[in-house]
Structure 1
Amino acid sequence: MVNYDSFMVTLSTVFGASLLVERFLEFIKNISEPFIGGKHKRIIPPLKDVDRKIDELKKDIEAGKQDGEWDERYPLNTVLVEPATDPDDGTVSRAFVIQLMGFALGIVAAHLFGVRLFETLTGGSSPIAPWEDFLLTGLLIGGGSAPIHMLMRFVTRRKMGAPSGNGMDFSEEKENQEKPGTGEEPPVVDELDIPYSGGVDRDKLEWRHVRKENPTLIVYHHTAMKHNSTFEDVVRVIKSRKDSSGNHWITGYNCVIMADGAIKPFCRWDRYGNHARGYNMKSLGIAFNGNFETDPRIPNSNPDGRYGPSRPTEAQIKAGARVVALWTFLYDIAPDFDNTIIPHNKIAQKACPGSNFPYEEFSGWVEFYRNQWEKSPGMIKRIEAFKMKPYLYVSKSEK
């Protein structure tokens, strides 16, 4: 029999170790780039061009501050698709060597932290030798955080959804988890199923859209686009806009939630996006893909369903609520829906996120996830591990 809390604590330690290994490998990849991937070297401009480059960057930053808001008025007949992924700047040989290094570091980390996952999984009666346990645990750590995250999701589902006596001794009492606004039992929650590695064009944002401090405000939107448009559509349409200097935008919302509940980070979270003029620098912007404005007097509104459903799907609401709940933990933002978590229309003369957006239901789910996570030591540990990811916080040198 397996004790849920002890297993999740061990698994969270493994998850944290895998994040450390990932960050170290990222560092190794960056410093090895000039030696292995020569054709991908970054070219340092001559000293005589430095002042000109600095002036250009200053102009770009100022232009971004002035033009920092997406119109959220989208014609039906314009969908341009372009893959929203970063180009692969590595080589097969380098990736292979670095992955082998990751496995080696994982084994060392397992010994260093004294983590034996399979011993915990079997309740202390592991049929394999300790060195084998360290080896297998280390390989899991070296394989990256994604497989461990999937295992956490599986165990969490099993714990929350399975009846007692199913082969896993989850002895803690099942809490009465009611859906906000109803008396119904909610379905199993994937909780921290939130992928994040810097979003789209993270390298281009290294020296642009730099925040002065970490965000203190969350603004939620709708994209005003068709509900079945892709994330690539959203990225392309927003990046096709030009600033006052004629330069294309390089980013938009910090996160976009698709109709099927898929979570798509866009702008780096340690950088400000283009979503709420006058508030970009201190805020995070999350957008629900779709058009939820039903007033026919509003241009490009959706009174007849031509943009698709006039309210976000349940999967969208829950996914967006999980992202916002995570942000409140990451950046110590109070869950105040009057001052710190607000719709776009509260700070701008716009309908966004639409008159048919379920404001109370959304805020209820944010509070639901926050309350559940605060009560779970395993979830708190996972959030602390999430905080170790890159591209989350403003560095001291940037302040």
Structure 2
Amino acid sequence: MSEIIIERPYLSTVAHRISSDAEAIQVAHTLAEQFREKASERDRKRILPIAELDAFSQSGLWAITIPKEYGGAGVSFRTVGEVIRIISAVDPSLGQLPQNHLVVVEHLILDASEAQKRFFFDLVLRGARFGNAFSEKGSRTVAEFATKITPDGDGYVVNGTKFFSTGALLAHWIPIVTVDEAGLPYLALAEQGTAGLQVVNDWSSFGQRTTASGTVIIDQVKVPREHVVPIYQAFARPTAGGPTSQFIQAAVDAGIAEGAIEAAIAYIRQHARPWIDDQHSKHASEDPYTIHQIGDLKLRLHAAIALLDRSAEKLQIASAEANEATVAAASIAVAEAKVLTTEIALLASNKLFELSGTRSTLEEYNLDRHWRNARTHTLHDPVRWKYHAIGNYYLNEVNPPRHPWL
């Protein structure tokens, strides 16, 4: 675990405001080059990317989905996917950190009151980061919650324990998914440092090591009424809330795949040797079987990105005109992209070693981080159920269920 003592994050400066899709992509490329430099060291030593995360949110990229009428750039889903993919290609932990933040922004767009939108959007535009207190351990399924919200005077009190709390340790605000007596989910947004709210840095996974996705303890946490959003409404009617969450996850996986292929190409060019039965190649990069495999990986990556872009277009339609048909089409398109991005992330991070040879497994290269990150992040939701949803949609004309995992 990181030995760094984590201080409560404060907003000390106002973030840059991005004004267009093109600017968002350009800023992402610039940051990616900065984040690439010590990405391997951060992974190896479990160093939390505190300075990098500050640069990331202060760049304005965490506010790009805020609608233009509230001062944001209101960028397209395609741009969101590209930004996440660009960052994830160099450091998937950093690429994953804004995922829940962006989903919270989407739920505020969908279900928050006008006053809530103006309050929280202004915070995000200034550089505030939302963490995540969503999933719990020990329940029958990931969608069942024991964390409860109870009326308390003019506000509410929340109690429970969360895990897989990506970004919560380094967030300014922690949105807590909680249920009322009827089992309906709400989002209770608590500011970091609120009495009874404790974030524990106990994330010990072998992959995505620096997302600080550990435990959040919620003990009699008081939340004002104006900071509680009825997010159950997003799934009681057709909205793009669910597929938006999955879309960002798929973009992370595409970035992981891209980074793994890039690492394979670099290692093969610099270090790998031709096999003894190859009597003609002077360099491993001339091995015809290696050339074939790299071509296959690139082809599969481009296919996955094409489906990711296609799903972004479907999401754009569903966001503009949400109904049963448009939301189902978006969910299925995102599911298709998620299947291919998962498969290429796992394949590329495995082929990296097959094509590079035994020496590539040495700890000094830390190339196993690509496989560890791919294996960990792709476990977020099972692709086997994506196939079922896709097949049922096309074969039996059954729309997929509405929830955050589809």
The two structures share one fold, judged by TM-score above 0.5: no
Question: Structure 1 or 2: larger helix share?
Answer: 2
Question: Structure 1 or 2: larger strand share?
Answer: 2
* TM-score, normalised by the number of residues in structure 2: 0.27
